[in-house]
A = this chain, B = another copy of it.
């Protein structure tokens, strides 16, 4: 079950351990590309890495553990946001960065694996949150710069904006499972930017554009039943 799971060369970072780790992570990634997360097999990974399976179990415990460390590893390699000088350019850089990651065979497989792992393993979920928390916070800076330049309304929530740019891409990757292409990425930027310029990302202000006012307070309750805002509703209960 739960092993020591001492992460990356904690105690003895010496050459052998590091080599084992590298070989295992590499094998894990290759296996993910070929068979996906659910096909990830500890014994198979061990064989591929040329490592005894005892070692794999001892250090990583489960497939989710392997994937979690792989994600941690990738997190360390993520590129910092460039400052292209325009918020448009920066957001596009972000979108294309995500696009590239999603469509890269290795990275795409890894992300999907971690997402899958996170639905069942708390460690993977933490790694995922940590990764995106950091990444989003980092990219949010470009929005702050834009605000400082006067390119965006004061008070714009940078993190929300970055999320808004990325969301449609991941949504397609994971939920609707459509191919995600360059145009999707660019459009996502355009749409988010329009909303941002209109002040829709200003903190604590859900109702920026007068006529588009949100009257909210529909309150949801009843399971999946729809329950909106204005006018008539055909409230229908689906089966809980």
Mark A residues whose CB is within 8 Å of B.
Answer: 1, 3, 5, 33-39, 64, 74, 77-82, 84-86, 88-90, 92-94, 96-97, 99-101, 103-109, 112-113, 115-116, 118-121, 125, 128-129, 132-133, 136, 160, 163-164, 166-168, 170-172, 174-183, 186-187, 189-195, 197-198, 200-201, 206-209, 212, 214-216, 218-236, 238-240
Contacts and interface: CB of A to CB of B under 8 A. Distances in A.
A106 to B, nearest CB: 6
A191 B201 contact: yes
Given A86-B230, A99-B220, A168-B163, A194 B193 contact: no
Nearest to A2: B239
A206 B5 CA distance: 41
Given A36-B235, A109-B234, A236-B35, A100 B226 contact: yes
Contacts of A36: 119-120, 234-236
